[in-house]
């Protein structure tokens, strides 16, 4: 794990959750693939189909604080996917970023990074998986500003002849300011289709981030990982999320012959301020190996009083 990610202190962000109803429902299936009991160091969970799954857990964050976590690829491999999962109650924390990191370690290994804001309750950490392989992908990124109190969706497009294997983003909001402990947080992170032939969501990555910082305009950064091979994109049926609903699902699963690089979770129909994921993570479904190569594990919440929300989940299968 990289304990001191260069941009962590300025990019972690947060949002205070107020008035969250305690009643909720759980939907979906699946067992947790990666336990929090693993040591706080990068651990290889195994290699399958040319993909190596690296795991790390961050230091814990007390209430009203932020932390960054990361899982690094081993030397000679590149990051083509990954994901993050916060432990603990969904209502108590926010995922402020989850993304491939490939630019900031000159000569070092690329990694998957994630940030959390622990709003209340017990200390929390974030588990991170990096999916790595030897063949180098193409990376693309994009940036745009968003006003305070607003959400914005920003896209990074893959070059022609390539297909997206993963992506993510963060924003530059500063959490912890006395008047506004909130910074910014992730609402959605997902692959998109540019309406070319086939309607396959292979054309790049989008993130939707909500700015609740004390800065009038913060900068959203989105990254996409693009590969020349053709992944299979498995999208689960949309899940309706009634008010005060907690989603837990592994419904987007890869065929046995393929292995997940990353997953997308899009929370639509509700204001970005009212819906947030805490888990977008490759998971094991209990097949012969214990490698988290089988499905997307998604966990999210929509607040009480917010109607019409739904979750779209996609597993990208290499």
**Binding footprint of Ca ion on the chain (CB under 5 A):** 193, 196, 200, 202-203, 284, 287, 289, 291, 293-294
Nearer of residues 99 and 284 to Ca ion, judged by Cβ: 284
Nearer of residues 85 and 202 to Ca ion, judged by Cβ: 202
d(CA 211, CA 149): 6
Nearer of residues 269 and 289 to Ca ion, judged by Cβ: 289
Question: What Å distances lie between residue 265 and 23, 45, 207, CA to CA?
Answer: 23, 23, 10
- Nearest approach, Cβ of residue 44 and Ca ion (Å): 14
Q: 297: Cβ–Cβ under 8 A, 6 or more apart, which residues?
A: 30, 32, 33, 83, 85, 249, 250, 263, 279, 280, 281, 282, 283
- Nearest approach, Cβ of residue 130 and Ca ion (Å): 16
Nearer of residues 28 and 289 to Ca ion, judged by Cβ: 289
**Six-digit token string for 153:** 């969706």
Task: Provide the 8-state DSSP code for 59.
Answer: P
**Six-digit token string for 69:** 């976590």
Nearer of residues 50 and 305 to Ca ion, judged by Cβ: 50
- Nearest approach, Cβ of residue 261 and Ca ion (Å): 14
Which run of H or of E encompasses 317?
strand 309-317
Task: Provide the 8-state DSSP code for 253.
Answer: B
- Nearest approach, Cβ of residue 165 and Ca ion (Å): 14
- Nearest approach, Cβ of residue 259 and Ca ion (Å): 8
């Amino acid at each position: 794990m990289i304990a001191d990610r260069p941009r962590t202190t300025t990019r972690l962000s947060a949002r205070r959750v107020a008035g969250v109803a305690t009643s909720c429902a759980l939907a979906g299936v699946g067992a947790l693939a990666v336990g929090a009991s693993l040591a706080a160091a990068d651990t290889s969970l195994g290699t399958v189909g040319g993909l190596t799954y690296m795991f790390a857990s961050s230091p814990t964050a007390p209430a009203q604080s932020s932390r960054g976590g990361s899982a690094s690829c081993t030397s000679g491999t590149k990051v083509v996917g990954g994901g993050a999962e916060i432990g603990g109650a969904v209502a108590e924390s926010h995922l402020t970023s989850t993304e491939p990191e490939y630019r900031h370690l000159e000569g070092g290994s690329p990694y998957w990074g994630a940030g959390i804001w622990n709003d209340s309750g017990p200390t929390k950490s974030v588990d991170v998986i990096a999916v790595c392989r030897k063949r180098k992908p193409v990376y693309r990124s994009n940036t745009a500003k968003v006003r305070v109190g607003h959400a914005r969706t920003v896209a990074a497009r893959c070059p022609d002849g390539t297909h997206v294997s993963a992506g993510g983003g963060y924003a530059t909001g500063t959490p912890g300011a006395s008047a506004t402990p909130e910074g910014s947080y992730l609402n959605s992170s997902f692959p998109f289709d540019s309406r070319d032939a086939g309607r396959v969501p292979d054309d790049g990555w989008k993130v939707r981030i909500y700015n609740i910082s004390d800065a009038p305009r913060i900068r959203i950064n989105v990254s996409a990982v693009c590969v020349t091979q053709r992944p299979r994109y498995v999208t689960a049926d949309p899940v309706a999320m009634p008010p005060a609903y907690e989603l837990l699902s592994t419904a987007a699963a890869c065929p046995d012959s393929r292995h997940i690089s990353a997953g997308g979770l899009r929370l639509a129909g509700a204001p970005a301020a009212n819906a947030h994921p805490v888990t977008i993570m490759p998971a094991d479904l209990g097949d012969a190996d214990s490698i988290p190569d089988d499905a997307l594990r998604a966990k999210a919440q929509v607040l009480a009083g917010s109607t019409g929300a739904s979750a779209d989940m996609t597993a990208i299968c290499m």
